[in-house]
Amino acid sequence: MAAVTAVLTSAVMVAGAPSSSAASATVPVYQQQLGNDCEATALRMVLAGRGVQVSDQDVLGRIGVDLAHPQAGVSGPLSGDPLRAFVGDPNGSEAAGTGFGVYDPPVAQAAQSYGLSVAAAGQGISPTQLSGAVAAGHPAIVWVDYNWRDVAAGSYTAYDGQVVPYAGTSEHTVVVTAVGNGQYLVNDPARGQLQISEAAFDAGYASYGDMAVIVE
């Protein structure tokens, strides 16, 4: 916990939109309902901003949960594919290997199943592209390192043969709602609404290859 506090002290200011930012449509801040389901909560926030009220469990039902392959970071028959479904128990633990998370394809598909239009999804969405979309009123669900570090990602082979990018047990998902004055305003399912410095955001965002789902 000390490492998290140190990063937040230098990189984060709480609440309030960046003063020169063009903010997206109002996106409420929700606390994640399970221990490890930040991706579901991030999409739930975006859905609420578009007038769709659901629970994290509803969202997970659309995303899909793979309890049979709960591991991540190691190759093998019990290693899940977050490009296909939520890996393991959404109330589990990354560190204990009982649950991990899910990447952009299932989240984008779940968003579309609720009637949202997805402007872009995947890795390689640059901070410049992301900022432009948010300024145009399109909230972005992004994958970051929880401690806002640039973690050198490795990979593992899942049960289905998919090579999965992996940056450790601090995978996290937040919603970017505004950008300006070198700051990103994010709705964090674990910590509430935060301002993240551009340098810290770019570092954390790089850990998952600039992975995002941008909603129109």
What pLDDT was estimated at residue 94? 84
**Do 70 and 165 touch, CB atoms closer than 8 A?**
no
φ/ψ of 160, rounded to 5, equals -95, 10
The tens digit of pLDDT for each residue in 42-56 reads 999 999 999 999 999
Stretch among 24-33, 68-77, 127-136, 171-180 having the lowest mean pLDDT: 24-33
Single-letter code of the amino acid located at 104 = D
Q: Residue 148 CA to chain centroid, in angstroms?
A: 12
Whole-prediction pTM value?
0.90
Q: Which fold has domain 37-215?
A: Cathepsin B; Chain A (3.90.70)
Q: Using CA atoms, how far apart are residues 151 and 216, in angstroms rounded to an integer?
A: 29
Beta bridge partners, 122, equal 212
pLDDT, greater one: 101 or 13: 101
Residues in Cβ contact with 123 at an 8 Å cutoff, skipping those fewer than 6 apart = 104, 165, 208, 209, 210, 211
Residue 20 has pLDDT above 50, yes or no: no
What pLDDT was estimated at residue 12? 47
pLDDT, greater one: 169 or 14: 169
Residues in Cβ contact with 161 at an 8 Å cutoff, skipping those fewer than 6 apart = none
The tens digit of pLDDT for each residue in 88-147 reads 999 998 888 899 999 999 999 999 999 999 999 999 999 999 999 999 999 999 999 999
**Do 171 and 82 touch, CB atoms closer than 8 A?**
no
Return the ∠ at Cα 14 (arms to 20 and 199), rounded to 5°.
Answer: 65
